[in-house]
Structure 1
Amino acid sequence: MLVRIVKMSFEPSRIDEFIANFEINKNKIRAFTGCNLLELYRDKNNTNIFFTYSYWDSEKSLNAYRNSDLFKAVWAKTKPFFNAKPEAWSVDKIESLN
């Protein structure tokens, strides 16, 4: 399983637009072939910083999403809201304790 973590920092005045766009698209992203989980987090201290965590079957599945029309549309809408360059990591989940 591949876990994709994306850190995004937004202009404070654009946060509501980001959240609205996420609401519109979250189920489409989660339903994308190979996506097993999608979560959105907000930093408690820097409330303009958000993280997405998504779990993918493989890097191939993630890349299929990243090359899809859905991703291109979501990213085109989201990109103007940033106030810093987003950061992303692809990591392997080693262990999870519930």
Structure 2
Amino acid sequence: MFVRIVKLSFHEENIPAFLENFEQMKEKIRNAPGNRFLELYQDKNNPCIFFTYSYWETEQDLENYRNSELFYDVWTFTKKLFNDKPEAWSVDKLHSLH
């Protein structure tokens, strides 16, 4: 299992549209094959910056999602709202303390 972190930066006036779309799509994304966890964060100092944080069983599961109609629909809508290029990291979780 690995973690995917994506940084998204929006024009302030586009934040409500992004949040509404995320609300509509989050269960579909979470239920994509191989997805085990999904969260959305908003930066405390810059409310225009958001992060998605998701767990995937395999890199192929993420690639399958990224090549799916669902991702196409989500990304086509979301990318029109950006004020900066998104950034993404795929990382391995080394420790988790509860």
TM-score range, shorter chain: over 0.9
**Structure 2 counterparts to residues 2-81 of structure 1, below 5 A:** 2-81=2-81
CA shift, 1:2, in A, is 1.1
CA shift, 1:28, in A, is 0.2
Query: TM-score scaled by structure 2?
Result: 0.99
3-state SS of the aligned residue for 2:72? helix
Aligned structure 1 segments of 4 or more residues deviating by more than 4 angstroms: none
Q: Deviations over 1:13-54 (max 9, x none)?
A: 000000000000000000011000000000000000000000
- Pairwise CA RMSD: 0.3
3-state SS of the aligned residue for 1:44? coil
Number of aligned residue pairs: 98
What letter is aligned with 2:83? N
What is the CA–CA distance in structure 2 between the aligned matches of 1:80 and 1:72, rounded to whole Å?
13
Q: Deviations over 1:54-87 (max 9, x none)?
A: 0000100000000000000000000010000000
3-state SS of the aligned residue for 1:36? strand
What letter is aligned with 2:90? S
What is the CA–CA distance in structure 2 between the aligned matches of 1:68 and 1:87, rounded to whole Å?
20
What is the CA–CA distance in structure 2 between the aligned matches of 1:94 and 1:57, rounded to whole Å?
15
What is the CA–CA distance in structure 2 between the aligned matches of 1:65 and 1:18, rounded to whole Å?
19
Q: Percent identity?
A: 60
